[in-house]
Structure 1
C-alpha cells in the first residue's frame, strides 16, 4: 500500500513512510529511489556503512533495519543505478526543518517570501560542516499530491513527494541542492488527475520559453552599495522635483547580434540607460513591469512571476545591480506592479491545484473581458497576503523606490468593462469591489509603514474619491495618482488645428478645477503612443516646423503645470513613429537638428524644474499656483504663476498656442523691476524660429490682469516662455 501510493504519486504524507521510523523491535530507515538497483545507508559524520537496504519487490521502496536503540544521526544514501553510482543525503530525515517554513507564514505578509518558494538554508546538525540545501514550500490546499521536480531528479515526478501540512502548504527540504538548479512542481488535483507542471508562485528566478522553469536563487549573495541613498533624510516627495522617465527595457535600445537585434541586458543598461537618464536630468526611472511574464507582446502586464524579475535581461543579481547603480547615480527606480489580473498560461497561477486557488471562481468576477485573463480573489486571505507580500518584496529585496499600480480602476469596480448581467453587485447592491479596496488600503499601509521613503502611484482612470489620501482619512492610501483627465484634455486640445483651439480653451484650464483633489502626476505614458495613436510628435498639427513647435510649447506647458511629471521614452527626442515594443527607439533621428533641439529642450526643462523651487515645491498646494490670464481664448494664450514655498520666488509661465507671434503682449505682474527669461521654447537652440532673443523685460507700474504692474512681451509663435522675478 505504501509503495503503491508513492508509485502512483498519490502520497500526501511521505514523512509517515520515508525517513527514520521507530518500529519495534528495531528502527527502520526507508527511502523511495526510482531507478535504483541497490542502495546503502552511510552516516555522514564518519562515512560508516550502516548496511545495505533491501528492496520491496517490484517497487522503488528500499528499507534497512537498524538497532532499536540506534542514535539517529544524519545519513546519506549510496545509490547504484544503471548509469552509475552516486550519493545523496536523504531529504526525509528532516521533517521538522521542512515544517518550519509554514509555522508563521500567515502572521506577517513578509513571512511569505521569507519562508515560501525555494529557500537556500543551512542546517546545524552537529556535524563538522552545516548541511546546506533548499527548502521548498508551496500553497496548494486542494491538491491530492505534490512533488518537486527538476534537473536534480531528472524531472521524475515520483522522486521527491512533498509533505502536506494542515494549512494547505506542501513542504520538503532537499539537501545539497544549491543556487541555479531548475525546478517546478508536479501536482495532482483532488481526484488524482495530473495537472500541468507549475512554476513556483513565489519563485525568485525563472526561465523563458519553452521551459518556464523556476530557478533556485539566494537573495543573500548580492552585496548592495547604495546605503547613502537608502539612508538619506528628510525625503518628502511632495516638495521635491519628480520627473519620471518611463522605459520599456526591451525596446529602449537594442544591440545587433548574429541572430539580429536583441535586448540589452540589465548590466548593459547600467552602462547606457543610467548615464542617459542622468544626463537628461530626470529624477526617476519608471520601468514597465519586470515581474516575469510569458508573452513579449503584453509588455509585462500579464505577469505570472510576481517575485521574479524577468530573465529576458539577466538574473536577479543583475537587476539588483541595475537598481544599485541607479541609486548611486542619484536616480530613483519605480516599477509597474500588476495585481489587477494574470494570464491563464498552464505553468502559472490559474487553477493552480485544479481549483481556483488564486482567482475568483465565478467568471463574472474572476475573468477580465478586456485582457482575457484571470482576476485575483481579493477577498481570500491567502491571496491578499500573496499580493501584499509581492509589493513588499520588491521594496525590500530590490530596494525599489516606488510602485506604480496598473489598472486600479479595473480592481475598484465590479462592473468595469462589463454589461448588465455580467457582474455581481456587492453586499450593498453597488458596483464597488470592497475586497479590492480593502486590499489596496492594506498594501499601502504596509508599504509606507515598513518603507517610509517609498512612493505608491495609482493609474486610476475614474473620479474615485481620495485615491491618494491616507487610509485614516478614508482614502486608498496611495502617495500619488496619475492625472488621466489632464492628459486626455490637454492632448485633445493640442491635436487641434490652432485655428480651432479658441473653441477648446477650457480643455487646458479645467484641470485646475480639481488639481488639488489628489496628489497628481502628469503622465504622457506608453499608452498614448501605441495602438494607432501615433507618437507624441505626430499628434501635433501643421507642417514639420509647426509640429515640432507645438510639441515644444506643450512640453513646457506640462512642466509649468502643477503636478509631478512623467514622459515615456521617445517623447524627448521627438520620435516620429509610434512605439514598437519589438524595435529600438529611433535614435538615428538625433542626427537631425530638429530632434536634437527637442531633446535639448527636455534636458533644459528637467534642469529648470529641479533648479527652481517655484516649479516643484508647491505642486500639491493651491498657494503654489495663480492664474494671471486664463480667459484669453481668442488668442489661445495662457498665463499663470508658480510660487516657491516661501512665496519669494515666482516663475511666470506664458503659452502662445497659435502660430501667430504676439507683439507688445501686456502681462500683469506682481512686482516692478526686471524679469529674466528662463526659457523660450522658440529659441534656435531648440530648433525654434528665434523670433525674439530678448532675455529680460522691465516691469512698470501699469495695472493689468488685476495686477499693480505689467510688462510688455514679444510672444513667439507656438511657444512657451518662463520668466522669473526673484
Structure 2
C-alpha cells in the first residue's frame, strides 16, 4: 500500500499551508471525523473544491508528525496544516483543476510513508451492481463484497465492501492502519446498504476487520462475512486473499462428472474429519496440512475403493469442539491445514485419483462469537430478530433470517462458491430438519406459526429449493445431500413437483433401526426382525444414502464395534455382517472414518484415529472387507444401478425372524446379471439353507464376510453355487446355501 523511507529535510520552498481561518471545512465535521462517528467521510476527507475555485485536500491521520501533499508532476511537496491535534490535516491548493496527488506522511521515529489517498478515488468498482447482492442465485455477493482486488484510475489495490445497512459508520481496520478506525472510514452506498472503500496499494496477505459504529451506538469489531481467508483460530482477523489465476488440472474429471445420473452410479462416501484422521505426534500432535493429506489420505481412500470423501465442515470456524458445524467464515477454507492454494492442491489430488469431494455445508445456524455475524451492525441483520425464530435453544446459536433477501442470496451464493471456485463435487447440507420446522425442538409457545398457521418454515424451504435449483442448473453433475431426520415428503424430489430438490437424503430411519437390531444379543433378534425389514417399506420414496456417520460414534454412543454384542470374535463378526448387509442394501453408502477398521474407542476430535489397531488381524480384516465391499459395489452393476428404484429390488426371504435370516435380490439394467444378498444374524451356521431365485445359473460368491481373510471362520460355499430346479419361496429355481455364522453373503449371477 505504501512506500516508506527515513524523513528527508523539509523543502522550505514547497509553499505554505493555508491559515486556519481560510480553511472551509466545518469544525463540527472535523469533530465527527476525529471521533469516528461521521457517516459520510467522503463529504469531508479527500479533495474538495471551495467556493473560490480552489481545492482543499483533507486527511485524517492520527499520530502523524506531519503530512504534505505530493502533486503529480511536481517535485516540491505542499505542506498541510494540522487543524485538530488528533491528526486532521488540510492543505489549500490554488489549482483550478482537481489535482492528482499522493500523501507524504511522517510518522514518529522518522519513518516516511508515501501513498495514494483513498478519498481521492471517486468511482466505486461494481457500484452499479451492488443492488444485486440481494438477487438469490446470483454470484454478486462473492464478486462484489469482501476484500476484492481492483484497479481504479490505473491504481491497483483492494476494494473492501460490507453489507451493514443499519450501521452509523464503518471503517476497515488492519495492520496497515494500526487497527485504528479513524483512519479508513468507508462510504455508504445508500441504495444497497453496503459500505465500501478502495485502499490503493494494498495486496494479498493483509489482516483486516471492520469496525462498525452500530445502530445501537456501540462499536463492534467484526471479521468479514465474505472473507476468502482467515487467521488460524483462536486469532479472529480476516485475511485479504487475491485468488491467483490457477491452471486447474482436473478438466477431464470435471467433464466426466457431468455425464450420467448420479442415482445410477456407485456412490460410497468416506466421511472424514481432517483434524483427527491422523496427527503428527512427534511435532506436538499437530494437524496434517492439506498437502500432507493429499499425499496420505487420498491414496488411502482410493485404495479402499470409496468414490467420494465427505469433509466435515472446513469453512473457517472458531472452536475446534464444534467440529466445524459452527462456522463464521463461510467463504474461507479453514487455515488450520494451510492456505486456499493448499486446499486447491488437495482438491486436484482427489480428482486426479478419481475421488469426488463433498463439503459438509451449514446454512442452518451460526455461533454467537463477538467477531462474527451476530448483531453485525448493531441490529439482528443475519439472524432473525425474534428469538423464537432466530435462536437455537439446543445449540446456543443464531438462526439465519431466511426471509431477508440479502441473507438468502448470501447463502445460495456460498453454495455456488464452493462448487465453482474450488471445484467441489457436492454439498451435504447439515441439520435440514432444523431449518424446515419452526417448532423444531421447541415447546408450545416457543415458536411462531407461519402465515398459514403451520409449523413449516416457508422462507427456509424457499432458500433450500433455490440453492438446489441454482447449483444443479450450473452443473448437473454435482450432488446435494440432505441430512433430514423426519418424514418430510419429497426431500429428494424435483422442486417442480413440490420437492426440495436435493439429489439424495440421508436415511436416518434405516440407520437407527438397523443399529438397534444389531445391538441386541442374537438370541433376542427374532423379536426385532422388523427393524431390518421396515426400511424397505419406504426405501424408494426418496433417493437415499445410508449413513453410518460421526454422529453415531460420539457423545457416549461408543464406536460401531462397541455397539456389537458378544465376545471379541462375535463383535467383529457382527460388524462384518452388518457392513455386508449395508453394502447389499438399496441406497448409496456413507461410513465415518475409523469404522472401516473397527475403531474400538469413541471418536475424539482432538486425537488421531488408532491406526496401530491395524496390527491386529481382526481389525485389518474389517478394513479388507470394507475395501472389497466397495470394489464389489462398483463392479457389480446390480448393486448400484437401480439403487433408488423399487424395480431394482425383490424380497427373497423377509419373514425368517426365527433364524434371523434375511435375503433379497438386486437388479441392474441388465436383467440377467442379478445379485443375491443373504444375511445370517445368529452365531449358528446354517447348512443347506434353500432360497428361491427367479433365474437359473451359477451364482458366484462375490463377498463372504466370514472369509478367513477377514478374520472369520472360513465357512462358505466354495466360491459359487449353481441353482437346482426345485421350487422355493414361490420361484422355480433355488440355491442351497451354507450360511456362515454372523455373516452376509453377496452372490452375483454369471450371465
| Global fold match (TM > 0.5) | yes
Task: Tell me the alpha carbon deviations over residues 25-65 of structure 1, each in whole angstroms, 9 at most, x when there is no partner.
Answer: 21222221111222222245x46345222221434222222
Partner of 2:48: 21
Determine helix, strand or coil for the equivalent of 2:516: helix
Query: Does 2:722 correspond to 1:722?
Result: no
Query: Does 2:200 correspond to 1:175?
Result: yes
Unaligned runs of 5+ in 1: none
Structure 1 pair 530/57, CA: closer, same or farther in 2 (3 Å)?
A: closer
Q: CA deviation at 1:671?
A: 2.6
Q: CA deviation at 1:132?
A: 1.3
Distance 2:356 2:508 in 1: 23
Task: Tell me the alpha carbon deviations over residues 500-533 of structure 1, each in whole angstroms, 9 at most, x when there is no partner.
Answer: 1111111111111101110000000000011111
Distance 1:428 1:97 in 2: 43
Distance 2:236 2:46 in 1: 32
Distance 1:104 1:461 in 2: 35
Partner of 1:115: 144
**558-567 or 218-227, which deviates more:** 218-227
Partner of 2:710: 686
Map 1:658-669 → 2, pairs under 5 A: 658-669=682-693
Distance 1:694 1:163 in 2: 78
Determine helix, strand or coil for the equivalent of 2:124: helix
Partner of 2:65: 37
Task: Tell me the alpha carbon deviations over residues 485-513 of structure 1, each in whole angstroms, 9 at most, x when there is no partner.
Answer: 10010100011111111111111111111
Q: CA deviation at 1:209?
A: 3.4
Distance 2:245 2:289 in 1: 20
CA contact (8 A) 2:583 2:629 kept: yes
CA contact (8 A) 1:3 1:60 kept: no
Task: Tell me the alpha carbon deviations over residues 531-557 of structure 1, each in whole angstroms, 9 at most, x when there is no partner.
Answer: 111100111110111110111111011
Map 1:50-65 → 2, pairs under 5 A: 51-65=78-92
Q: CA deviation at 1:72?
A: 3.5
Give the number of aligned pairs.
717
Map 1:528-677 → 2, pairs under 5 A: 528-677=552-701
Q: Please point out which of 709, 721, 730 is paired with 1:706.
A: 730
Q: CA deviation at 1:321?
A: 1.3
Map 1:178-197 → 2, pairs under 5 A: 178-195=203-220, 197=221
Map 1:357-368 → 2, pairs under 5 A: 357-368=381-392
Q: CA deviation at 1:71?
A: 5.0
Unaligned runs of 5+ in 2: 1-27
Distance 2:265 2:387 in 1: 44
Distance 1:709 1:496 in 2: 34
**225-234 or 139-148, which deviates more:** 225-234
Q: Please point out which of 205, 211, 234 is paired with 2:229.
A: 205
Determine helix, strand or coil for the equivalent of 1:218: coil
Partner of 2:112: 85
Distance 1:57 1:679 in 2: 83
Structure 1 pair 537/670, CA: closer, same or farther in 2 (3 Å)?
A: same
Partner of 2:36: 9
Task: Tell me the alpha carbon deviations over residues 180-215 of structure 1, each in whole angstroms, 9 at most, x when there is no partner.
Answer: 0000011112253222x1000111111133430000
Distance 1:57 1:723 in 2: 87
Structure 1 pair 712/104, CA: closer, same or farther in 2 (3 Å)?
A: closer
Q: Please point out which of 369, 373, 381 is paired with 1:345.
A: 369
CA contact (8 A) 2:133 2:410 kept: no
Q: CA deviation at 1:350?
A: 0.6
Distance 2:356 2:157 in 1: 35
Task: Tell me the alpha carbon deviations over residues 386-427 of structure 1, each in whole angstroms, 9 at most, x when there is no partner.
Answer: 111111111111111111111110111111111111111111
**516-525 or 442-451, which deviates more:** 442-451
Determine helix, strand or coil for the equivalent of 1:452: coil
CA contact (8 A) 2:126 2:144 kept: no
Query: Does 2:271 correspond to 1:246?
Result: yes
RMSD between aligned residues:
1.4
CA contact (8 A) 2:216 2:378 kept: no
Map 1:280-429 → 2, pairs under 5 A: 280-429=304-453
**TM-score, structure 1 as length reference:** 0.97
Query: Does 2:285 correspond to 1:261?
Result: yes
Distance 1:284 1:79 in 2: 55
Determine helix, strand or coil for the equivalent of 2:716: coil
Q: CA deviation at 1:99?
A: 6.3
Q: CA deviation at 1:235?
A: 3.4
Q: CA deviation at 1:68?
A: 4.3
Distance 1:67 1:648 in 2: 93
Q: CA deviation at 1:566?
A: 0.2
CA contact (8 A) 1:36 1:80 kept: yes
Distance 2:459 2:473 in 1: 21
Map 1:436-515 → 2, pairs under 5 A: 436-515=460-539
